[in-house]
Chains A and B, each alone.
Chain A
Amino acid sequence: MTVVDARGLRCPAPVIRIARAARDAASGTHITVLATDPAAVHDVPAWARMRGHAMVSSTEADGEYALTVEIG
């Protein structure tokens, strides 16, 4: 599993970070992006839908979001 740290970055940077990690990932790989930008909560699932990936989980603790997708 890959973890991408996008904490402290504003939109659209978190989505761009996870997209870079996803580019060379094999189908079925799980990638988690850590973010503090609240827009990431909406934009990572929307990006996953547009790119044919699946959302696995979305959690928040103390203003930090962890969003995990499975590469399609």
Chain B
Amino acid sequence: MILDAGGRAPLLTEARAAFVEALDQGWADPRRLFSEGRRARMLLDGAREAIAGVVGARTEEIDLAPSHVAALHTAVRSVARGRRRVGSGVVVGAVERAAVLNAAAFVAGDARLVVPVDATGRVDAATFAAAVAAPGVALAALQHANGEVGTLQPVDEVHVAARAAGVPLLVDAGASLGHVAVPPSWDLLAADAGDWGGPGGIGVLATRRGVRRSPDGPEDDDRWFPGGVSVPAALAAAVALQVAEQRRVAEAQRLHALVDRVRARVAAEVPDVDVVGDPDRRLPHVVTFSCLYVDGEALVTALDAEGFAVGSGSACTSSALEPSHVLAAMGVLTHGNVRLALPAGTTERDVDAFCDALPRLVARVRSALGVEGL
């Protein structure tokens, strides 16, 4: 049972069919001028048009990237370079994706300003606005929602402030597009096809006309993402997004209630647990919690052995020594962490099976560590 679909959801049936079809129809290089090349170009532009329609952009504002990370890197690097006369400052939220934080450090160095978050993982809009209004800021980046804890960010208020300051706002919708309505309050928008049931290997970068940016790599026909993307993957990504959008409202309502159920049951049935993130203003499908005195790797492995695929932000579950920077910035427990990002179609029976198994497995891991009574 896949309960960890963030960034790589199971491929939607419709996306798979579109991908296979496009292997026949869109195999050619879209730069070629013969018929097959033109047909591939038409499919690629059709994919951009469909994505533009969903995010509320013009087709020419949509660039497709070979990954979500590449989309975020290019957004930060190209705007920083395009606006270098303004200054080198980049303002970011503390719980942005590592790709944003690292790209901002790469272009801005000491001029990267990180706005802290509260215990729910949300930046304070007024603090962020004040940081953006400082002189020398080339770019601001604030995610629409946090993919690890689900908390929605105040992008509307921050965009008003950024616009007043003349600073473009990059909104990372990598965890939200296809799950909740994405507001028009952005100058650059990044998203991840793998997250909404499209294939891996397609990121989206939408850039409003008028945002000043400049490539910091060699010349290429595909100016922002040299070499372009796979046409079948692009088409499958667009089809998946349209399907996800059609189902979005009903699915979001259903999953929101399921996450409410998980939050309530975990808090009630597992002793010494921190269920984190905003309980209400959040993504419909994401929930995370940390269990005191629990080895995250042992718990993820125990859950996997019973058929539950979950994620974790604990340091002991990753190759890095550092725990999730999101949990750390929120000041919540980083060990014993379990993260669920429910894919479309998850049922109440699924989450109940998870909730039924969890207390026993947590108790078993704790028992192995000898921490009863602490």
Contacts and interface: CB of A to CB of B under 8 A. Distances in A.
Interface stretch (B78-86, B109-117, B203-211, B325-333): B325-333
Contacts of B314: 11, 39
A-side interface mostly: helix
A43 B324 CA distance: 12
Contact of A38 (B290, B292, B321, B331): B321
A16 interface: yes
Contacts of A20: 374
Contact of A15 (B296, B321, B332, B335): B335
Interface residues of A, number: 20
Interface in A50-71: 50
Contacts of B293: 12, 15-16, 19
A11 B323 CA distance: 9
Contacts of B23: none
Contacts of B264: none
B374 A42 contact: no
B345 interface: no
Given A15-B293, A38-B321, A46 B272 contact: no
A37 interface: yes
Contacts, number: 70
Contacts of A47: 292, 333
Contact of B333 (A19, A22, A43): A43
Contacts of B294: 12
A11 B316 contact: yes
Contacts of B20: none
Interface string A11-47: 1100110011011000000000000011101110111
Contacts of B272: 50
B369 A12 contact: yes
A19 B374 contact: yes
A46 B276 CA distance: 12
B369 A38 contact: no
A12 B323 CA distance: 11
B315 A19 contact: no
A41 B325 CA distance: 12
Contacts of A49: 331
A23 B328 CA distance: 25
14 contacts: A11-B334, A16-B293, A16-B371, A19-B374, A38-B315, A39-B334, A39-B335, A42-B323, A43-B323, A43-B334, A46-B331, A50-B274, A50-B292, A50-B333
Complex A-B, nearest 6 residue pairs according to Cβ-Cβ distance, in ascending order: A12-B335, A19-B374, A11-B335, A46-B333, A39-B323, A42-B328
